[in-house]
Structure 1
Amino acid sequence: MFLLFAVLPLFVVNELHGAKSQVGLIMGAFAISAVLTRPFSGRIVDLWSRKTGLRIGALIYWITPALYTFAATVPVMFALRFLHGIGIAIYTTAGSVYVADNAPAARRGEAMGYYGMAMNLSMAIGPALGVALIDHIGFHGLFWLASFLGLLSFVLVQFLHEPIRPHQQAEHPAGRPAIFSRIALFPGFIAMCMTMTFGTVVSFLPLFVQQHHLGNAGLFFVVYSIVVVVLRPISGRLSDRFGRATIIIPGMFFLAFSMLVLAYSVSMTGLLFAAVLQGIGFGAVHPSIMALVVDRSTMHDRGPALATVMMAFDIGVGFSAIGLGQVLEHTDFTTMYLCAAGIAMIGALAVTAVTFFQREEKSPALHS
């Protein structure tokens, strides 16, 4: 998935001759389908199994990039990205629940941090590698490589061992867990504010770098991912010890500051400084939010709870790609990134307000 992050916007503009707003639409299609699939992905992993969800997601990872080679128009690419988003929704929900099931309760934040490191390692390598390979193997060669990696993931999933869970009837007499989880709504709102900053980077940074002639956009993702990989386990342990809100609040302020720096960056130095700030913010907020939702759920409703908060992640990415893409179409990169900074500030102030007016141990949203 990350192998294509920095090249898909270029593919849409250079090969499909799409507009900047259409780049946002195609990148947002990925998130739209994930949003629509998340509630059912939670039900799949609860009623069937975590491993079944991983298999379905990996199968879609395998097939969809190969189909990208047949995309010759923006609508076709939109449809394929929509399909790809279904895979990401099912796979990541199943993976998160699988890890949460096997993590000791006292170390959930740390466990979610380590789990996230795997994704960030691929993000550190994938985008820069994709940009480096594009001149040698072209877009179609890159799509086939992504398809092969999806096949490899599908094969590896078969070797996972899933612990036997107590029967769902104990807590769900009808045998059908809820689609949405109320306890994940406020964490989901904060997650949406967080991923709206990430969505503007994923969707438009390659075009921003190209316009300003800053070089390889993949370097941003390398620096960003290294920071996140280093910080995730530390922030996870700190949230286990001091509470989730204590880590989330400064993390959201870092995300807002990163967008502010990016809005006025005109050099690679500024770009990489923004990457460091973005990495600090995301590395602090993401595992803390995930651990917070796991804290508030049981094994039997954990699938819908994590699916709800991850759906909020997708909404943030999709809304930033489509909504802020429209801002970019009618203004410029500076205005768009300033809007993203404002959204991160809203999230930071929301958590701060709840923490200030309610003691954390009594708050249904921020209890750790």
Structure 2
Amino acid sequence: MPHQTLPDQQTPVPLWTRDFLAICFSSFFVFMTFYMLAVTLPGYVLDELHGSKGQIGLVTTVFVIAAVVFRPLTGKWLDEGSRRKLLLTALVLYMICSALYLTVHSLTALLALRVLHGVSFGIAATATSAIAVDRVPAARKGEGVGYFSLFMSLAMVVGPYLGLMFTGSFSYTVLFAACAVLALLALVCGSTVRIPPHVPKPVTGHPWHWTRFIEPAAIPISLAGSVLAFSYGAISTFISVFAKEIGQGAIASYFFIVFAAMILISRPFTGRIFDRRGEHVLVYPGLVLFVVGMLLLSQAHTAAFFLFTGAVIGLGFGALLPSFQAIALKAAPAHRSGLATGTYFVLFDTGYGLGSYILGIVAAGTSYGTMYLVGAVITAFTVVLYYLLHHRKQNRAAAGRQAA
């Protein structure tokens, strides 16, 4: 009698397909360019354009505002139009903007370019994320989102390292040329992705109703992600300055290496845990690790302790970031996955920008150690938000199904 394969014994659907790898690398190169510029443009404004410290913040702010404005628009376009055309248009614009830094010689021109670059980044980052999610098998959603976000996490580390290396050993011209090359690689990788034709769902209601740009079901978990990003903004923006303040400036770059190493080590099993045991097993321990790591960082004075806090924070952040994004996607209808992705990152980016600015004011009035202490307290409220906005709602839904 021939052997029959039972439904639960079927061969697992592959995750690491050519298309999934291509979109992951496209996203990686987009974020590499973003982080290389994020850590080097402050010095460029001061040293080359002779701007002020206030103008440094403006260069960052206009970029973030442009990206945040266009993320929800991108979610709408992803769900209602051609995803391939949108992706390629954004990547071409992103490449052109990256190359135009070579021609900038005034602060006004830089600000105008940052606005346009922010627009292309907001569209490209949202599009690559939504397309990557579509290439992930439904049964491996948590694992797939985890690996995709790993590429972004690695860019957070490699990008600043390369940016500082280029400006320290070469020049801003070499830096901007490298950014243009990386943006070109993002375009090349993105253009090879096979994106199935997307059948838009018929549009109903007012064309400019807010639900055409924001996915309501993704808002609760996105709010929790926004609070997490608020504190993370202080880490990515001020860690090198804090390291110098405590006499550890020489090892500041290693903080991010340790941070990324913990994400890399944990990512293979965190995605599987999400799919098999649910999100709560990851989120609550992840929040505890992140808060404890921030508290320890506020008290760091030695090199070993400073790097140890990077490991603790990295382990917590590595569990939280993909989990929150996967929850946002699971909460939304399948045909609104693009909007869910855009909604999540709108609130995440907003929290990141506000955190960098507000906690920077806290640091200016007190100290960087106090700033990280405040960040830890704020992040602790994410536990409450997560329970009230997601966990409790999930429990009520489960109780309702049992009663029925």
1:183 deviates by 0.6
1:292 deviates by 0.9
Amino acid in structure 2 at the alignment position of 1:208: F
Looking at structure 2, the residues matched to 216 and 310 of structure 1 have their Cα atoms a distance apart, in angstroms, of: 31
The alpha-carbon distance between structure 1 residues 357 and 113, as it changes in their structure 2 partners (threshold 3 A), is closer
Q: Deviations over 1:75-110 (max 9, x none)?
A: 554443333222221112111211221222221000
Looking at structure 1, the residues matched to 206 and 157 of structure 2 have their Cα atoms a distance apart, in angstroms, of: 41
Pick from 172, 185, 188 the counterpart of residue 219 of structure 2.
185
**Counterpart check, 1:250 vs 2:285:** yes
Instruction: Tell which has more relative contact order, 1 or 2 (C-alpha 8 A, sep 6+).
Output: 1
SS of the residue corresponding to residue 7 of structure 1 reads helix
The alpha-carbon distance between structure 1 residues 241 and 208, as it changes in their structure 2 partners (threshold 3 A), is same
Amino acid in structure 2 at the alignment position of 1:313: F
Pick from 357, 373, 377 the counterpart of residue 322 of structure 1.
357
Which residue is 2:373 aligned to? 338
Q: Deviations over 1:253-296 (max 9, x none)?
A: 22222222222223332332222122112211111111112112
Pick from 325, 334, 345 the counterpart of residue 310 of structure 1.
345
Q: Deviations over 1:105-139 (max 9, x none)?
A: 22100010111122223333222222223222222
Looking at structure 2, the residues matched to 89 and 166 of structure 1 have their Cα atoms a distance apart, in angstroms, of: 23
- Larger gyration radius, structure 1 or structure 2: 2
Which residue is 2:4 aligned to? none
Judge which range, 136-145 or 79-88, deviates more: 79-88
Which residue is 1:207 aligned to? 241
Which residue is 1:155 aligned to? 188
**Counterpart check, 1:222 vs 2:257:** yes
Structure-to-structure mapping, 1:248-327, within 5 angstroms: 248-327=283-362
Looking at structure 1, the residues matched to 393 and 200 of structure 2 have their Cα atoms a distance apart, in angstroms, of: 36
The alpha-carbon distance between structure 1 residues 277 and 72, as it changes in their structure 2 partners (threshold 3 A), is farther
1:330 deviates by 2.6
Looking at structure 2, the residues matched to 326 and 76 of structure 1 have their Cα atoms a distance apart, in angstroms, of: 27
- Taking only the aligned residue pairs, the percentage that are identical comes to 30
Looking at structure 1, the residues matched to 271 and 132 of structure 2 have their Cα atoms a distance apart, in angstroms, of: 14
The question of whether the paired residues in 2 share the 8 Å contact of 1:181 and 1:304 is answered with yes
Looking at structure 1, the residues matched to 311 and 85 of structure 2 have their Cα atoms a distance apart, in angstroms, of: 36
Which residue is 1:53 aligned to? 86
Amino acid in structure 2 at the alignment position of 1:307: G
Judge which range, 13-22 or 46-55, deviates more: 13-22
Q: Deviations over 1:23-50 (max 9, x none)?
A: 4443343322221111101112222233
The question of whether the paired residues in 2 share the 8 Å contact of 1:124 and 1:226 is answered with no
Which residue is 1:366 aligned to? none
Looking at structure 1, the residues matched to 396 and 348 of structure 2 have their Cα atoms a distance apart, in angstroms, of: 25
Which residue is 2:143 aligned to? 110
The question of whether the paired residues in 2 share the 8 Å contact of 1:128 and 1:219 is answered with no
Amino acid in structure 1 at the alignment position of 2:240: P
Q: Deviations over 1:35-66 (max 9, x none)?
A: 11111011122222332332233223322333
SS of the residue corresponding to residue 351 of structure 2 reads helix
1:207 deviates by 2.6
The question of whether the paired residues in 2 share the 8 Å contact of 1:123 and 1:222 is answered with no
Looking at structure 2, the residues matched to 276 and 265 of structure 1 have their Cα atoms a distance apart, in angstroms, of: 13
Amino acid in structure 1 at the alignment position of 2:115: F
Looking at structure 2, the residues matched to 358 and 95 of structure 1 have their Cα atoms a distance apart, in angstroms, of: 30
The question of whether the paired residues in 2 share the 8 Å contact of 1:46 and 1:301 is answered with yes
The alpha-carbon distance between structure 1 residues 63 and 294, as it changes in their structure 2 partners (threshold 3 A), is same
Looking at structure 2, the residues matched to 259 and 315 of structure 1 have their Cα atoms a distance apart, in angstroms, of: 20
Pick from 183, 187, 194 the counterpart of residue 228 of structure 2.
194
Which residue is 2:174 aligned to? 141
CA RMSD of aligned residues (A): 2.7
**Counterpart check, 1:121 vs 2:154:** yes
Amino acid in structure 1 at the alignment position of 2:395: E
1:167 deviates by 3.8
* Corresponding pairs, count: 362
Q: Which runs of 5+ in 2 are unaligned?
A: 1-33, 399-404
Looking at structure 2, the residues matched to 139 and 223 of structure 1 have their Cα atoms a distance apart, in angstroms, of: 27
**TM-score scaled by length of structure 1:** 0.88
